[in-house]
Structure formats: C-alpha cells, structure tokens
Amino acid sequence: MPAPSRKPRRRNRARESVLRAAARALETRRASRRRWGLWTVALLGTAAALAGLAMAGNLVWHRCFLENDYFEVRNVEITTDGSLAASLVREYAGVREGMNLFEVRPAVVRSNLLAVPVVASVSAGRRFPGTVVIEIAERIPVARLGTRASGTPLAADATGHVLGPSSVRADLPIVSGLRDKALRPGDVIADPFMATALRILGICSRPGLRREMRVASVDISSDTWITVQLATGEQILLSHDDLETKLERFPLMRDAARRRGLDLAIYNMTADANYTGTPAATAGARP
C-alpha cells in the first residue's frame, strides 16, 4: 500500500511560519509606536512643566523684585575726577531715582557712558537695596586743535582722543597743521605727527621745565621739523628725533645766549648738535 503524501502538511507549516513572522513584525511596530507615543507624551509633559515653572518664576521675579518698592532706586552716587555734571551723567547712563534697581544693568551703564567723548573709563554697580554707584575717570584736555581763527573749537587729550568745545580752555596750547579733516568729538587723531606734538607737550609740562618752557602752540604742518612757540615769544625748531634731550638743553642754550646779550627769536635745534639761534631782527629765517 503506498505512503501518504506530506506536501500539504509542509505547505501548511510554511504558511504558518509566514503568518507568525508577520504577526511578530506587526507587534514590533505596535510596540515601537507605543514607545514613541510615551516619549512624546513625556516630552510634552516636561515642556509644559518647564513652561509652567518659567511662568511661575517670572511671576515671582516681578512680584518680589521688579515690582517691589523695597528695591526702588533712591540714590545715584556719582564720582568723577573731572567737571562732568551729575545731571548729565544720569542722562547719559540712563538711570534715575524712582526706577527699579534690577532694571539698572551695569554693563549697559558703562557702555552708554563710554560713548561720551570726555569719559575715559567707567565703573558701575548696584548696592542693595536702592543705590546705583558710578565712578568716572574723565579725559584731561592738554591741547586745543587748529588755530584761533578756526570754527568750532576742539580739544585733545594726551592719547589723541578728540574732545568737544566744553573741554576747550583759553590756556591750552594750540596744535596746528593737523592732516586730519572734519574731526569730531570721539574721534582719535590719525596724523602720526600728533603723537610727537603730544610728547613735546608732556615733556614741557614736567616740573623741571614747566616754568622755563610754557608752550603756546605746536605747528606740525612741516614734514621736516616741528615749530614750538613759547608763551615768552621764542620759537624752537625741532626734528622728530631725540626730543627729550633737545628740550632739556633749550633752557641752557637760552641762558647762554642771554649772558652774551643776544636776543634770539628762533632756536634751531633740528640738527643732532651745533644748535643755532636767529636774532629777533632776522626772525624770518628758517632751516
């Protein structure tokens, strides 16, 4: 008797295996979707909780600090080493009595004040519960720019920063012959000879030379020499090198000329040595 065929049973087993694999794949996809759904819910819940905390914190911040009269600014302490008025400092800094102390940002106060040409450095801070502290170091004008016949007068400090008309004084020496055009307060002078002029003014203002060499003007228009006009009437012609030595020797040279009875109007110190003088009668001479 022949053996029964096993082909139908094999086909059934293969079909069952395919169905089980499909079922496992479907269950895997469902589990993955459930996990992503849980993660999404968790993330949304966390975001909502954080937003709630932020709103609550912001409300507490406003109620306890920004809207609290205890932190009202009652005093603005201003210290400056110059003549800048306290009312102008408040205006430039953007602070006033009555505002909230936490509205005052020291970095912004410093930035606002450093934009003022006459201000060299600023220290700003808050002292609880209601005081703003501002300390200012002002730029000191050492020279007036241009000539007495120029338009709006401007000044400069020892670093070449341009200062406005309020910094100009009648007793400041004049620096003329600048190559910079249309200078405005807050600019930095680019003319390289300006540094030489400022150095000359610094040397002549030293205690040992201040009385002997009160400078009225410095002319830097020439590329070859610098003309220093003293308040006593004499002119000194200088080269750009060895300035300190030459300026320190000038009083000795003038004293020697006076002892000989010479009335010199121009002292030519452009050479490295063998300085010469021009009498007042022929003062039009130049190197």
Cβ proximity of 191 and 160 under 8 Å: no
Q: Is 46 a member of any domain?
A: no
pLDDT of residue 36: 76
pLDDT of residue 150: 54
**Structure-block tokens of residue 15:** 């079909």
pLDDT of residue 34: 73
Cβ proximity of 263 and 280 under 8 Å: yes
User: Of 138, 170, 196, which closes a domain?
Assistant: 138
pLDDT of residue 287: 41
Do 206 and 276 fall within a single domain? yes
Cβ proximity of 215 and 229 under 8 Å: yes
pLDDT of residue 207: 92
Do 191 and 108 fall within a single domain? no
In tens digits, the chain (287 residues) has pLDDT values of 555 555 556 666 666 676 666 667 767 777 777 777 777 777 777 777 777 767 766 655 555 666 788 889 999 999 999 999 999 999 999 999 999 998 999 999 999 999 999 999 999 999 999 999 999 999 999 999 985 445 679 999 999 999 999 999 999 999 999 999 889 999 999 999 999 999 999 999 999 899 889 999 999 999 999 999 999 999 999 999 999 999 999 999 999 999 999 989 999 999 888 889 999 766 554 44
pLDDT of residue 55: 73
Do 74 and 148 fall within a single domain? no
Distance, first Cα to last Cα, the chain:
143
User: Of 79, 110, 138, which closes a domain?
Assistant: 138
Do 276 and 152 fall within a single domain? yes
Q: How far apart are CA 203 and CA 246, in angstroms?
A: 11
Q: Is 123 a member of any domain?
A: yes
Q: Is 33 a member of any domain?
A: no
Give the total number of structural domains in the chain. Answer: 2
Do 269 and 245 fall within a single domain? yes
Count Cβ neighbours within 10 Å for each residue of 77-92 and write b for 16 or more, e otherwise. Answer: ebebeeebeeeebbeb
Q: Is 258 a member of any domain?
A: yes
Do 105 and 167 fall within a single domain? no
CATH code, 187? 3.40.50.11690
Q: Is 59 a member of any domain?
A: no
In terms of Cα–Cα distance, which of 203, 193, 147 is closest to 173? 147
Q: How far apart are CA 187 and CA 269, in angstroms?
A: 32
User: Of 121, 138, 155, which closes a domain?
Assistant: 138
Q: Is 273 a member of any domain?
A: yes
Do 148 and 194 fall within a single domain? yes
Its pTM stands at 0.74
pLDDT of residue 59: 59
Do 106 and 202 fall within a single domain? no
pLDDT of residue 181: 87
Do 147 and 251 fall within a single domain? yes
CATH code, 98? 3.10.20.310
99 burial type by CB count under 10 A (0-12 exposed, 13-18 middle, 19+ buried)? middle
Do 130 and 145 fall within a single domain? no
Angle (nearest 5°) at CA 239 between 236 and 243: 80
Q: Which residue has the tokens 């703003």?
A: 132
Q: Is 73 a member of any domain?
A: yes
Q: Containing domain of residue 96, as a range?
A: 69-138
Q: Is 18 a member of any domain?
A: no
Q: How far apart are CA 145 and CA 268, in angstroms?
A: 24
